[in-house]
Amino acid sequence: MSDNIMKKIDLHIHTTASDGSFTPSELLEEAKRRRLSTIAITDHDTVAGIEEAIEKGKELGIEVIPGIELTTYYQGQRVDILGYQIDYHNQELLAIIDNLQNSREVRAKQILAKLSNLGIELDFARLKEIAGETGVGRPHIARLMVEEGHVSEMQEAFDNYLEDGGPAYVPKYQLKPEDAIELIQGAGGIVVLAHPGIIDNNEIVKELINYEGLTGIEVYYSKHSKEETEYYLSLAQENDLIITGGSDCHGPANEDKYLLGTVDVPYSLLEELKK
């Protein structure tokens, strides 16, 4: 048991398959340097990085939990739903992911059209190059805006153009929480409510944890305050929910390279998750 106490885990990480800046292999190399024993790949709305991560993990002796973070909306609020131990070859899951990626491309073109009307011309082919295997999203557009010299940093692109309600904002295709729960369960996964502190409305959190099929809550999180962590820990215990935790690391280009492995997540939580 003492060995387990020493083991470091991080169950919320992104790669270049979505909006992270570590490739799956680079991420595993960094995890090795930080002496992590287990990580979960939880890219936004895609499983494209999992296979590479698992193979690299085998090479480096790091366990990789296959996961996903599905973006949903509830009462006008963005609510992210994590899925763990998923069958990432599940056909229904892959079909929905494909729909999400196609809708992202349509949305990206609409955003570029709005930017063009504002005097900012961006090349869609170059945007696709930046996005790589994953579907294009706002972070990729922001990166291209920096590359072309329209803004000095990505945050400026969001603040002035791309943020919700901004002059170049286009709403995205929206899943409901119940859709995500059903999808993850259908792929044999465990459903966890991501970073409830970011939802900024605990009444919504209380409603969501009563959804049938939602079995866990992310208590330990890089942006949760000590008070929030204590509150969600008690909420999880009162409602007999699985407890998870992670850094939500997106890598060096997103200025949070050093988040990886920085959240103190008890190894015992991973054992509970596996049960």
pLDDT one-digit tens code per residue, 111-155: 999 999 999 999 999 999 988 766 788 989 999 999 999 999 999
- Give mean pLDDT, residues 216-229: 96
Predicted confidence (pLDDT) per residue in 170-208, tens digit: 987 789 999 999 999 999 999 999 999 999 889 999 999
Q: Please report the DSSP string for the chain in residue order.
A: -HHHHH-EEEEEE--TTTT-SS-HHHHHHHHHHTTEEEEEE--BT--TTHHHHHHHHHHHT-EEEEEEEEEEEETTEEEEEEEES--TT-HHHHHHHHHHHHHHHHHHHHHHHHHHHTT----HHHHHHHHTTSPP-HHHHHHHHHHTTSSSSHHHHIIIIISTTSTT--PPP-B-HHHHHHHHHHTTPEEEE--HHHH--HHHHHHHTTSTTEEEEEEEETT--HHHHHHHHHHHHHTT-EEEEE--B--GGGT-GGGTT-S---HHHHHHHH-
* pTM, two decimal places: 0.81
Q: What percent of the chain has pLDDT over 90?
A: 80
Q: At residue 5, does pLDDT exceed 60?
A: no
pLDDT of 241 higher than 90? yes
